[in-house]
Amino acid sequence: MSVCSSSSSSSSSQKTWIVHGILAGAAIAAAIGASAYLGRSRKFRSRVVGIIPARYASSRFEGKPLVQILGKPMIQRTWERSKLATTLDHIVVATDDERIAECCRGFGADVIMTSESCRNGTERCNEALEKLDKKYDVVVNIQGDEPLIEPEIIDGVVKALQVTPDAVFSTAVTSLKPEDGLDPNRVKCVVDNRGYAIYFSRGLIPYNKSGKVNPDFPYMLHLGIQSFDSKFLKVYSELQPTPLQQEEDLEQLKVLENGYKMKVIKVDHEAHGVDTPDDVEKIESLMRERNLS
């Protein structure tokens, strides 16, 4: 049986996204004197590459990138959605597995082979970036297990980084459903008044004295998509693992623990990541409801 079968039809999506706070970074840029720099160059962080890191081995779901979702491998669905983003100059898949590479080449994706020693998707993105022929200012780490990712969210995190020179990293959050408050697979985020990340956790944050989810509090769910300044991406890979990063198993915490700034945008998007085999049926049911193929 073939590991990868696909059809060529593109999926359409109901665009229900609202990006908040992107322009707030411009005010911060002025406050730190970056406006002069921006005035000299209209092309600040203008060259953008999207990288989809993918590995076959997974403790929770082995072979996840190749799982079929309504007749197409999940990695293809993520790639097709990503190609609709207007800010990306190029998209590649970064993998250490020939089965994934063969599948991706079959549906037309560019593939960069990376080492098995990469500890996470960010390190895989950095290795892929170093192997690309062209130079890029911004790298978007696109999660391969988000087959319904909205291209506007990709554009949102890119633009947030472009207008916030003191940040080296940008990401997106959306509203957290109360029933997901205690789910460790749903990563929560808290931000400051200027839209910079304070902390990410698998636990409920903030946590109140009652120990219960407050249905009236606007908890935020991290969507996983990440945009890096390409120079910082190299620095990131050289940083040693940090205690909070290791305890929570969240690579973005290494950024915060080392004192770097991370811009966060809020979007109106219902997260549909695939973390376990049970999630595949949920995704397919949703796609049928939306008449996506």
- Number of Cβ within a 10 Å radius of residue 9: 11
pLDDT at 89 over 70: yes
pLDDT for the residue numbered 289: 87
Can you tell me the distance from the alpha carbon of 28 to that of 30, in angstroms, rounded to the nearest whole number? 5
CA 140-98-51 angle, 5° bins: 5
pTM summary value: 0.81
Residue that has been written with the tokens 């970064």 in this structure: 94
CA distances from 234 to 23, 123, 125, 128 (A): 27, 9, 10, 11
pLDDT higher than threshold 50 for residue 49:
yes
Per-residue model confidence as pLDDT tens digits over 54-73: 988 776 677 889 999 999 99
Return the pLDDT at 290: 84
pLDDT tier at 185, thresholds 50, 70, 90 = confident
The residues, any chain, with a CB within 8 Å of residue 164's CB and separated by 6 or more, are 25, 26, 28, 29, 170, 261, 263
Q: pLDDT digits over 141-160, tens only? A: 998 888 989 999 999 999 99
Residue 35: pLDDT over 70: no
Which sign, positive or negative, has the C-alpha torsion 174, 161, 50, 201? negative
How far apart, in whole angstroms, are the C-alpha atoms of residue 264 and residue 167?
10
CA-atom Rg of the chain in angstroms:
19
The answer, yes or no, to whether residue 259 has pLDDT greater than 80, is yes
Domain boundaries, the chain: 30-290
* Statement: residue 218 has pLDDT above 90: yes
pLDDT level of residue 279 (50, 70, 90 thresholds): confident
pLDDT of residue 224: 83
Q: Can you give the length of the chain in residues? A: 293
Helix (H, G, I), strand (E, B) or coil at 31: helix
Q: What percent of the chain has pLDDT over 70?
A: 84
The pLDDT value given to residue 23: 36
Tokens, residue 112? 């960069």
Q: What pLDDT does 33 receive?
A: 38
Per the prediction, the chain carries an average pLDDT of: 85
Average pLDDT over residues 2-29: 41
Protein fold of 30-290: Spore Coat Polysaccharide Biosynthesis Protein SpsA; Chain A (3.90.550)
Q: What is the pLDDT of residue 16?
A: 37
Question: Phi, psi (5° rounding) for residue 92?
Answer: -135, 155
